[in-house]
Chains A and B, each alone.
Chain A
Amino acid sequence: MSNTTPETWLILGATSSMARALARKLADRGATVLVAGRDMADLEATAADCRFRGAPVSESLRFDAREPETFQPILDRMAECEGTLNAAVFVGSMPPQDEIDADPAMIDGVVTDSFTGPARLLHALAPMLEARGSGTIVGVGSVAGDRGRVGNYVYGAAKAGFATYISGLRNRLTRSGCHAVTVKPGFVDTAMTWGLDGMFLVAPPEAVADSILKAVRKKQNVIYTPFFWRYIMMIIRAVPEPIFKKMSI
């Protein structure tokens, strides 16, 4: 990895293990890392960790998708950084579907956390990338966004919206030499999947981070990680709706 121009990465939702793995790998190659999220004590630990792994600058910033006033300080900090600006978005919330069924007002929160909150920040960030003519935005979606299922369709719908947003952003950014990558992880070995039944071929977060970095390097557009999830989802999307609606997967 050449390091002639300095690179800065903003990582939203940096308390997740996938985000942490990516932050470490970026720090290893000497990138400036800004980790953002809500649990400041935990973010400070990750920021310190990245500092000792090789990040010249590594800081924790507060980001709450539901508090837009947290966005401007992040944008200001990004504007101060030199070189290529990049962002990776790992935020999202997935409350159990039955809790949402009992309290439909929760839908607003899920959509804000997983879609509109980060989209609003990215929308303000995009012109900075365009002005510098470089940089990549990584939007982490979910295979749950590929088709609505009874178990988590509110979360899935929010992620589908986010994926469509990233797709449009890619279309826009490519005109100025920038790029956006859509990442759809399958089962990853995170706190969210720990101890869940029915998990198979669970990928370590480090493998997801590697495939994200590869996608950024090769300017891939939409990646599934691990790769075979592309084929699993191809099959799931191909099931005709009259049959799919009766299935519970």
Chain B
Amino acid sequence: MSWKHADYTGWGRYYRATGELARPERASALDRIALEGPCPAIGQRRSYADGCLNSGGRAIDTARLDRFLAFDEDTGVLTVESGCRLGDIVTHFGPRGWLPTVLPGTGFATVGGAIAMDVHGKNHHHVGSFGQHVIAMTLHHPDGPVRITRNDPLFAATIGGMGQTGPIGAVEIQMTRIRGDVMMVTERRVPDLDSFLGLLDTSEATYTVGWIDATATGDHLGRGIFEEGETGPGLVPPAKRGKRVPMDAPNFALSGPIVRNFNAMYYRRIPERGRTLVKPLEDFFFPLDKIHDWNRLYGKRGFHQFQCVVPLSEREVLRDMLTRVGASGLASPLAVLKRMGPGRAGMMSFPTEGYTLAIDFPARDKAPEMIRRLIAMTDEAGGRVYLAKDAFAASEQMDRMYPERAAWADFVNGLDPEHAYATDLMRRLSLRTLP
């Protein structure tokens, strides 16, 4: 196997790594690498911080292991290689009436990555997390490939397991039948946080998500746009892909006043009485994928995303969080509020019943302090932060947020005593350290 010396980053471009990457093109290469010396696998590096980094070590880039291997029209079970991008599945299987049951906010995420982070989508309150729809997968261990299914203890350690149980090869996922390959999307303005939470609590739509203006304060606190989506038959022009951000934007592009004005305009874009639109599947599920490399809009310094989930009973903490963020002038236009159901499939899965709030922050000097404060508030409210996004949590918070962490670490360490699969995220938060 040839290895390339590379500098690479997570999606937030804040944490960086230098190390050697292999990019196998055939599944058999995964076994060869496992024999030569195991190392973690990474996908399209859509984790924001350091979950996809292995500084000073090696990693397997799965970009070229991205083929569809089998599909059963009767059962809807799709077999793919782990580097397969979810957007690619949507584009090719949507028109035949099937979608992955769970889709995260970017179609660039790979199936392997979706497993490693047990990602959730806009229908989490109905169908649960991605891992709940994985039927089987193959792990490539030094003593040979092993195919695991739900009953295997390895399964719950692998789903949401951040790659710590070894590189994933082929994966079988359960797809869902859709009524048609376009989206009916209803968008409405929401004037404040209480109305927002009310809509999230009562909506009966299959897919729901809320954009929230994290710069709003006072009476407008928590205002935003509530989106409900259903698949259906119809005709729309295919999604346009591929505008690329050509360079790093200057730092002032996302300064406080500019973001505040942008958000106000973005809010008023929706007519006061709301509207229903018909959109291509990709435009609804992956709104930002239209702009390739949009992370460069944050400039050279990069950005962070804070994402937490707090129990339903702790909704007031969201108000406190938004008040702080609104007053700080640090937020970017990207902030999302959603209600989650209880569905989760792994010991280290993020999803749990409650409200999840995600806010992007350009990586300015004051951002870490702000985010640490939000993490502490999450911790006090009995919630947890999403490790696919986290950049600033403290290791002592982990056992409260992830009660199964020690059991998981014990299991994973038994499988990989040399920590060959460890990433920068594992080391930063001592996730594999036993008490």
Contact = CB atoms under 8 A, between A and B. Distances in A.
Contacts of A48: 67-70
Interface string A194-227: 1110000000000000000000000000000000
A209 to B, nearest CB: 14
Contacts, number: 47
A191 interface: yes
A45 interface: yes
Interface in B40-84: 64, 67-71, 81
B69 A195 contact: no
A194 B2 contact: yes
B81 A45 contact: yes
Nearest to A52: B68
A17 B305 CA distance: 35
A1 interface: no
Interface string A33-69: 0000001011001101101111000000000000000
Residue in B3, B67, B69 whose Cβ sees the most chain A Cβ within 10 Å = B67
Contacts of B27: 41-42, 45
B28 A194 contact: no
Contact of B92 (A15, A17, A46, A53): A53
Residue in A15, A41, A42, A54 whose Cβ sees the most chain B Cβ within 10 Å = A42
Given A17-B64, A45-B81, A191 B25 contact: yes
B28 A41 contact: yes
B66 to A, nearest CB: 8
B5 interface: yes
Interface residues of A, number: 18
Residue in B3, B26, B93 whose Cβ sees the most chain A Cβ within 10 Å = B26
B23 A45 contact: no
Contacts of B64: 17, 191
Given A45-B27, A45-B81, A52 B71 contact: yes
List the 9 closest pairs (A to B, CB-CB), nearest first: A195-B4, A49-B67, A52-B68, A195-B2, A42-B26, A49-B68, A45-B67, A191-B25, A48-B69
23 contacts: A17-B25, A17-B64, A41-B27, A42-B28, A45-B27, A45-B81, A46-B67, A48-B67, A48-B69, A49-B67, A49-B69, A51-B68, A52-B68, A52-B92, A53-B68, A191-B23, A191-B24, A191-B25, A194-B4, A194-B22, A194-B23, A195-B2, A195-B4
Interface of B: 2-5, 22-28, 64, 67-71, 81, 92-93
Interface of A: 15, 17, 20, 39, 41-42, 45-46, 48-49, 51-54, 191, 194-196
